[in-house]
Amino acid sequence: MLKVWRTLLFITGLSVGLTYAQDDSPSGTQIPESVQSMHAESVEETFSYEQLRRFARAFALVKNQYVEPISDEKLVDAAIAGMMNELDPHSSYLNKDDMIDLQEETEGEFGGLGIEVGEDNGFVKIISPIEGTPAAKAGVLPGDVIVKINGEEMKGKQMSEVIKLLRGDPGTTITLTLRRAKSPTLVDLEIKRELIKGRSVRSKMIDDTAYFRISQFQTNTVNDLVHQIRAIKTTPNSIVLDLRNDPGGLLNVSVGVVQIFSDTKRTIVSTKARNHVVEEFSRYTPDNILQTSAVLKDLPNWLHSVPMVVLLNVGSASASEIVAGALQDFKRATIMGNRSFGKGSVQVVLAIDEDTGIKLTTARYYTPNGRSIQAKGIKPDIVVSDTAKGDLFRTPREADLADHLKNENAEDDTAVDKDNAVKEDTKQETEAGGSKDETMYEFGSDQDFQLQQALNYLHGKPVNQGVVADAVKINKSAEGDSGNKTLEESESNTKEVAEPAKKAPNDATQDSPSSTVGDATKTETTSSKGTTTKDNHADKESSKSLNGDKEPTKALDKALDKVLEKK
């Protein structure tokens, strides 16, 4: 019998995540109606030995007649890999090296340089060197683009390939050739690898706001987060949880993070597998026998009461989306930034033998209100571009990947994919040289535009949305039953300003913070098309509501016509 190793959440190039069934859920926990189904009888499909004979015949023909000798192991590995490649993008064959990498990812210890990376226009870009690591000591800077590793060109390589080249035994050296912003020449750095103990959680106080950044959901993430929370001696007036460029991780850890920030007994995430078998996860259960869920006891009350913003971008996937989706459904936090990646599937690692295995997609997951984010992502309540001049990160989303799973909750999968895929003008802009603002910044720094807007929002100040195509007004979200407010889409490509209410929900049952647009106070008007905003003090022409005014301006008419044409 094959051994089930772990259930994983995975994003292109990075293996992350693990979960397992919870046998005894608290009483009163409900599975969302949209996910409910009867547990179907397990039906074992008839195995066709005729198909296996066909495979054996093909194997023998290649083995005996290929122009050069080839080993049985290589042929079998290639056959398994080919079979897995015919499935969705997150199912794959794991050879011995892949299994080792997987363990390193989840445990957070490996030989390497100590950098956070992301994809950008066919290259891997440095998001941030980790303080005190070989990369930081050698002078690697945020925004550096890896052009070569040990003289080998990196353009077009998968991020997983680049990461493998960056890692190695502690004490070995590696030469990075970097392209630096505003530098006419390439920079060569020789760096000695060290044992990196990944810090998945960083935090600091920004005036009266507690800022927490989670870069990946690893085994020690909950313990590290709790430790840093307990180190805060004063009571913050607000919270920012930064999940940008977080590819995901351990599912049980994401459940623990939601528990930390919301006082809820509800289901946090549900999974539905083949034959409609549903599992629910409503509390944190550590996978490490040295850890205990008691770490979540006696946490400060402000974690559940002060206003909160969660920052997302296109690189936020899997476990990140579970956390954001739950906090959005619970009306605990306002989601800000860009639409997330849209990976709503669960993978299981099954051992083939002692050294190899397969990573197989076995289920879809759902937010507390039964929303599937597969190929769709989490839609922010307030859209804010990466920088004041536009978006910096151009990573393709799940909807852009070939053979991705469809969103079974969507009436029109094509529409969902089209809405979330990289737009043609974005692709062309990227190929022509990237975004208008190539200056990379460190998440959490003073140059972090989205963070500054989150702080403005939490303090009741105007929020600059940057260059946000398709954002003109704040509207109640039509997604699920979250009740959060989100930005409607239009043809405008201008800077918009949003000013929130100064108080966020005190518990999971309260309404989400109300939002306003512009420097002047707004009053909400509701029509058959939804809730819109009307400016009481701004210019008369700009204050007209698309839904509420009887005589809209010609400019707004034209914009609406274009929207309707696209739809």
Catalytic center residues = 318, 329, 343
Handedness of CA 159, 162, 166, 167 (dihedral sign): positive
Kindly state the DSSP code that residue 47 receives in the 8-state scheme.
P
How far is the C-alpha of 299 from the C-alpha of 261, rounded, in Å?
A: 10
How far is the C-alpha of 257 from the C-alpha of 63, rounded, in Å?
A: 51
Helix 251-261 × helix 221-230 angle, to 10°:
20
What amino acid occupies position 483? Answer: G
Cα angle at 257 between 326 and 347, to 5 degrees?
75
Residue in the structure block whose two tokens are 């274009």 = 562
Query: N- to C-terminal Cα distance for the chain?
Result: 51
Cα angle at 388 between 385 and 390, to 5 degrees?
50
How far is the C-alpha of 5 from the C-alpha of 435, rounded, in Å?
A: 42
191 contacts: CB under 8 Å, gap ≥ 6? 113, 134, 135, 138, 140, 173, 174, 175, 176
How far is the C-alpha of 397 from the C-alpha of 377, rounded, in Å?
A: 9
C-alpha distances in Å from residue 117, one per residue of 58, 86, 221, 251, 275: 42, 28, 19, 22, 38
| Three-class SS state of 145 | strand
With contact defined as beta carbons under 8 Å apart, do 383 and 338 qualify?
yes
Q: Which helix (H) or strand (E) holds 224?
A: helix 221-230
Kindly state the DSSP code that residue 296 receives in the 8-state scheme.
G
From 368, 363, 283, 382, select the one nearest 325 (Cα to Cα). Answer: 368
